[in-house]
Amino acid sequence: MERFLGAVVQMASGADRAANVARATALAREAARRGARLIVLPEVFAWRGTATDDPTAAEPIPGPTTTAMTALARELGVVLCMGSIVEAVPREERRYNTSCLIDPSGAVIATYRKIHLFDVALPGRVAVQESATRLAGESAIVARTPLATIGCSICYDLRFPELYRRLAAEGAEVLVVPSAFTFPTGAAHWEVLCRARAIENQCYLLAANQTGTSPHGHRDYSNSMIVDPWGTVLARLGDEEGVAVAELDPTHLARVRAELPALTHRRL
């Protein structure tokens, strides 16, 4: 790992794919202008519509969104975490919620399909059954990039520490968490989960969230953030669309792991 700037992009995505991709492109360019070399987009950044339109909005990989984002990563010379998109699956009624990691040459070097699906009912607050329209992925994904070794995850995965421990055990130095965390669960748990996953795995963590109100009527929590391996929040956004940038320092990472070598003390 080398010293570099990372960025999280916060968006209020809707059902207009072209507008969403244009907005993501503009915000990624802003992050690059500010010096970011790793840029993380939010979950479902390219299309976020109703369940009725979901089947026709799904797209293959490679497809139009990955084509646009690989060209953008190549143009900016950055590592780009392509948030997530709705991935079409041949001969299946359900789709994957899929994130791609793209290197500065524009090559897709990792494809991660969300493992943990958000099936939750909080009376009077939020009810979501992601498994009704999504298939669960099966593989934990770690990718070695020119900047760092990156472990992939999406949103609800944040509640499952065993996934992140596997990513750390496979060499992850940076964890990416594109998200569309709802307000009720986010207000209670978002920051503590982000900080906990960074602390217990002694990794940098970049969590890019959606903001505004989803097409399903749920308010998003916003508060995209970058957390260091000691659990310090280095940068965060409020409720607006935008970009947050912070330095990721391998010397600090090595010092945390050397002074409190918890990863080497594991017995289970």
Choice among 81, 100, 155, 194 that is catalytic: 155
Cis peptide before 104 (omega within 30 of 0): no
242: left (phi over 0), alpha (psi -120 to 50) or beta: left
100 tagged catalytic = no
8-state DSSP, 43: T
- Which residue in 59, 81, 114, 194 is the catalytic one? 114
Q: One of 43, 59, 87, 241 is an active-site residue; which one? A: 43
Quick one: which H or E segment has residue 80?
strand 79-81
CA dist., res. 153 & res. 196, Å (int): 15
Task: Residue 100: count other Cβ atoms within 10 Å of its Cβ.
Answer: 24
**Is 203 among the residues known to form the active site?**
no
Cα-Cα-Cα-Cα dihedral sign, residues 16, 22, 24, 26:
negative
Active site residue 114: yes
What is the number of alpha carbons within 13 Å of residue 171 lying toward its C-beta?
A: 8
Contacts of 98 (CB under 8 A, 6+ apart): 61, 84, 85, 86, 87, 111, 112, 113, 114, 137
Other CB atoms within a 10 A radius of the CB of residue 19 amount to 11
- Catalytic annotation, residues: 43, 114, 155
